[in-house]
Copies of this chain bind each other. A is one copy, B any other.
Amino acid sequence: MSTNEDGLLGPKGFKIRTISCGINTPKGTRKDMLLIATDKPASAAGVFTTNRVKASPVLLSQSHVSNGLAQAIVVNSGNANACNGKAGMSDAESMVNEVANGMGIASDLVLIASTGVIGRPLPMECILEGIQESVTSIELDPDRDAAQAIMTTDTVPKEHAISIDIDSNTIMIGGIAKGAGMICPNMATMISVLTTDAAIAPGALRAALCHATDSSFNCLSVDGDMSTNDTVLILANGNATNPMISTEQSPGYPEFVAGLVEVCTVLAKKIARDGEGATKLIEIEVVGAASDDEARAIGMTVANSALVKTAIYGNDPNWGRIICAVGYADAESDPDLIDLYLCGRQMTYDGQGLLLDEPDMRAALSSETIPLKIDLKIGAGKATIWTCDMSHEYVTINAEYTT
């Protein structure tokens, strides 16, 4: 497995176009639309938010991806098209139809994702103009900045691509992701678009995507708020020359899943590190839990604790808050067994505090990546969760978002 930074364009046979059509900022000032296409229908799969309130683009993509094939994906930032009622669904359909008409393909081969503010009507005139421009100029895109076009409060674009060998054939998997706030447990989080030139059947692709999402994006929390628009989409166009991966039992499936997990994990960590206002990536490793699910529940509870996140922001080795969050998680633990390690230093043994070298801990906590290990010593369950610290800047960003 080797990495490169070509993102979506790593895999052979994909074209992208990014433009600024003026959705929430004046046209020309900020990229806000991305179109991805391939030459023929590709295997396609998607994972979506489990929030009861689903944005119209989520509902439409869920419907279109159910047949396992797609040829294009249109993504906009600047407006989530959520809570817009019947008009919202009609607008999402118009966007998809515009892409389909322009490309001369069936509408249900087009997927869609939107991100941005909730509850505002889409400015359809500029959006449809933008789609027309994207479709006609898709061969020409000079910028290759797909990851940039889907950013909202993100501060850096997030992309990653790798190549893997399956039976002596080189396969590329590339992806982009956005998401800095409203990032939270138990879902298919934020927006990520993945491409691969692997030859893989829709059912196997869907299984691989679920598996990869489960151990990457679903192990991520910025603020505990599950979005209305979370969407992960993948297209596999089969331009690589590997023998078709028909099922989860086929040769090559394990290698493909491992590659997809790698891409999704790198993107998930990039999202955590770029969480709204974040100054640090926190990597929470839970071991010794009753089960993997319980390990994840405990890790997520710690990741969502505002008290833990603010303490780490302040370089404060206040491990009592971590033990406290473990205790109120909905999972088995024994307070008298917990061993806690922060930045590689042991904080507690059997739940009791050990003597701290406070200046050393403060120095360790001032680094950009904070490893936290929680050993419950009651079973073999384990999970790794990624989150970020909570800073003044998080409050500033979110006290001023819609205006």
A53 pairs with B307, CB closer than 8 A = no
Can you offer 26 A-B residue contacts whose CB atoms are under 8 A? A52-B335, A53-B326, A53-B351, A83-B348, A85-B350, A118-B321, A119-B319, A119-B323, A119-B348, A182-B307, A223-B306, A223-B307, A225-B305, A228-B324, A306-B306, A310-B394, A310-B395, A310-B399, A311-B398, A311-B401, A313-B399, A314-B400, A317-B402, A318-B401, A392-B395, A395-B395
- Chain B residues lying within 8 Å of A120, measured Cβ to Cβ, are 353
Q: A169-212 vs B: 1/0 string, CB under 8 Å?
A: 00000000000011010010000000000000000000000000
- Chain B residues lying within 8 Å of A396, measured Cβ to Cβ, are 392
A320 pairs with B352, CB closer than 8 A = no
B310 pairs with A398, CB closer than 8 A = yes
- Chain B residues lying within 8 Å of A379, measured Cβ to Cβ, are none
- Chain B residues lying within 8 Å of A304, measured Cβ to Cβ, are 224
Q: A47-66 vs B: 1/0 string, CB under 8 Å?
A: 00011111000000000000
Residue numbers of A with Cβ under 8 A of B are 50-54, 80, 82-85, 117-120, 181-182, 184, 187, 223-228, 304-307, 310-311, 313-314, 316-321, 323-328, 333-336, 348, 350-353, 390-392, 394-396, 398-403
Given contacts A307-B223, A320-B82, are A395 and B390 in contact (CB under 8 A)? yes
B53 pairs with A316, CB closer than 8 A = no
Which chain B residue shows the least CB distance to A84? B352
A48 nearest CB across to chain B (Å) = 13
